[in-house]
Amino acid sequence: MNTTTATGADILQDFSELADVRIGLDASVRSTSVRALNRLLAHTMAIRDAYKKAHWQTSGATFYELHLLFDKHYNEQVLIMDSLAERVQTLGGVAFALAQDVADESAIARAPRGRESARAQLARLLDAHETILIDARPLARASADAGDDGTNDLIVSQVVRSNELHSWFIGEHLAAQARTAD
């Protein structure tokens, strides 16, 4: 389908449409996986942005250490984001790409515009990782049950494992901050 929008832009595929791709999966399975992956993509885009905000605005005694950690995790979330978007496209879907998509789809709490303490940044990031992990695990199981091994592998090997590791690092920093505050 090729349509033209009010601004004159040619649309090759509407967001809600699924392209016919030959990867051995029924359209219903691919459609379900596309919706699930786009949700994880929106979460990943939200946490990526939270990491960059924290990277730019961290302060205090652990500034340098957190500044580097936040940037490392940001870059790793970018890689996950790219893998999720490419899987959506592989399944014949259209991947989320805009800030409005994130705002509409992700349940990750938005950070305030102001500068937060390192402790608040860490707590917010820990909550965001937990949101992703709570959503990702049942989506991985559902994709495996539907025979979509590629989506299952991506969710387990990249989304779950990376977010568990990031959550552990952030949790350890948060615990260390609590110990020094006592």
* CATH class of segment(s) 26-181: mainly alpha
pLDDT in tens, 124-177: 999 999 999 999 999 999 999 999 999 999 999 999 999 999 999 999 999 987
Q: Where are the domains of the chain?
A: 26-181
pLDDT in tens, 71-123: 999 999 999 999 999 999 999 999 999 999 999 999 999 989 999 999 999 99
pLDDT at 1 over 80: no
Compute the C-alpha angle 68/69/74, nearest 5°: 100
How many Å apart are CA 153 and CA 22, to the nearest integer? 19
pLDDT in tens, 39-80: 999 999 999 999 999 999 998 888 999 999 999 999 999 999
Determine how many CB atoms are found less than 10 A away from the CB of residue 103: 12
pLDDT score for 60:
87
Write down the pTM of the prediction: 0.92
